Structure 1
Amino acid sequence: MCRRARRLRNFVDMTRAGPEFRWLLPSAVADPELPGDRAGPRRTVRDWVVDICAFLAAALIGMLTADALDKTPGYSDTLLLVDQMVGAAACCAVWLRRRRPVALAVALAAVSLVAPVASGAFLVALFSLAVHRPFKPVVLAVGVGAVVSSVVQPVLRPDPTTNWLTNAVAGTVLILLAIGWGMLVRSRRQLVVALRERAARAEAEAALRADNAQRLAREAIAREMHDVLAHRLTLLSVHAGALEFRPDAPPAQVARAAGVIRDSAHEALQDLRQIIGVLRSPGEGADDRPQPTLATLDALVAESREAGMEVALDHRIPDTSGVPAATGRNAYRIAQEALTNARKHAPGAEVTVTVTGRPGEGLTIEVRNPAPPGPVPEVPGSGQGLIGLTERAALAGGRLRHGPGPDGSFTVLAWLPWPA
């Protein structure tokens, strides 16, 4: 069984290898429905070899039958000559077995009733019919007619050396063997076609899964780069804009803004180097890169305060060691992006960050800022930050809502699962 499976696998590999192996394949394999070359495509080398072998087999059986008739006592030479001519014509008709398998089988069934020499061509026609047509109803109907022909033929052309029953049984067995062999060949070809389709479908599915995995990886990388760099670059943009619109600011304030710009640029450069390092060698540095947690939220708030923001932190989880690392990292990124948006769109407003939750109930992060007290400078942005946060929360099994309030405030509220 393993040897046969290996041969079948090699056969499938050849069918998919390319045109250099195409000559080894039967023409029916190219068509899943095995139509028997109805449109008459060009025969391959293998088709020619098979057709020649079928013709020789039909001729050999016909010659053996003619020799047996010649040795039969009382058989006239004229009748033998007619049988031989009919048998030769039947053997030549075998070349039509691919184009007209049904018509050829029916015609040779009628001819073999009166010309035993055509029996070889008739068996080849039955074999071809079983290969190129389904069993029901075509092969079944022609097969029943062939069995009837094998029973009637000894009556029309009796053999004096044997009785009617022996001839009828022998003819029926030969017909069933030819049909059964053809059905076996057809089933094997259909199996090869099914295996080819399954292999092609598996390759397509594998390519689709690979593309989907690459897309998800690109989205994760883009989300991580946005979350990591947006905070730093927003500080750069805000303080650079302040220096641009307030050239007459006190030297201390200018120095403070310059220090924030310098530190933010340095931190952004370090984060960018870490991300590029992960992209270059994802298997080496991905786990060593430090990841933020819920415990580092205080440092984020302190950094925002040093940059000039007014941030009130209400941290109601005294022990953050029980928070899962992934949940803490997502909470940190959500708070980071919300603070970045508040810095861009509500400068000067006091931002309130509230963190609550417990195991089994989940972790809730709320970042709220009132309406900006003054004019809002134009800060460039893509508008993808909140979309990325929503996707991040959904991928973590949580949910996130955001939107303005009736008093002009803006709230980002996220819930993340925290298993008990």
Structure 2
Amino acid sequence: MNRHPIAVALRALRQTVLGPDARPERPLLARWPGPARYAAPVGLLAALGLFLITLTVESDWGLPPPIALLFAAMTVAPLLALPRRPLLAWRLTVLALLICTFNAPADQAWPWTPPLALGSIAVLAVVVARVDRPVLAWVVTISTVPVLTLVHPDNRVPVLLLLGALAIVGDLIRRNRLSRHALDAQAELSEREQERRAVLEERTRIARELHDVVAHHMSLIAVQAETAPYRLTDVPAPAAAEFVAIAASARDALTDMRRLLGVLRSETSGPQTAPQPDLTDLDTMVDAARRAGLPVTLDADPVDDDRVPAPVGLAAYRIVQEGLANAARHAAGAAVRVTVRAGRTGLGVRVENSPADVRPTADGGTGHGLTGMRERATSLGGTFTAGPLPGGGYAVAAELPYDAEGGDR
């Protein structure tokens, strides 16, 4: 793009005189929706009053009625266009200042009627706060033409000073508005980035935990496959070769998973050596919540380790953990019920709380707990629901299939 000063000035002049009038970013009274409802009728009544005042003044100055009507209309038209088309309103104002002057009395200090003079100042004040600097420079320059050619020499300096003051204040207002919009856009972008990062961190944590669980079972498979020919008697040679192949495949899978885990882990987090929790740890977690003052009731089926896979047990534990944390945060004092049911093809988990006795604290949390629970359920092929209860309170529920095929069914 050509940034030469002359080219910029010519482009701004074309925009000022003939260019399209950009719509304002927000209405003038957008911050006050109550008064904004009455802005249109009040504005029309004010325009009608100015029209009648101008018509009376022009008639007193001896203009024929048709010309007086024309001048009164030219005085009011810029004010009607000002809310949505400020640049067009300024153009109409300049025309009115140049045309509606030849009938002023000789002893009149100003060549314009009071409504036209005050209206032109209002239009200029709005325009200088809406346009960029190159257009602003042309607007102020062109606005001085009626002043220098029609205003009495004794009054020109105050008017020119007023134009300069309006230009400076309008530019400051526009720059302040642009700065606020830039800050709002940056804050919105930062919030979206924070949400995306929280989701990615939760997915990474889930992947790490699944790796730790699956790696344990893969290690057992490799060890059992390697030792099977020594523990069993009269193992045929083909079967022994199959055991060796199974052990090799298991170790290859472990190598790939460790390589994947190296990508997932951050530089500051080391390997997780502690055993991952499962359904057998629900009682311990519920007891800790009770000691913290949260009234919790646990209704869980007996755990069958052969029936419930480790990833399902881990996901169920984390969902209950996050559900209790949300209940403590958003429904302090409410009774909480945790239900865990082991079905034929999957595990059902539900955490619900009664209506809160007190209002929640100002700290509402990060807002990503439900996202993490849903990620855990869907990563196993299950479903997750959350929402308020009809009689008050809140509930989260997840269906975790024992395998992907069962979840699809």
**TM superposition score category, shorter chain reference:** 0.3 to 0.5
> Of the two, which has the highest radius of gyration?
1
* TM value normalised by structure 2: 0.40
* TM value normalised by structure 1: 0.39
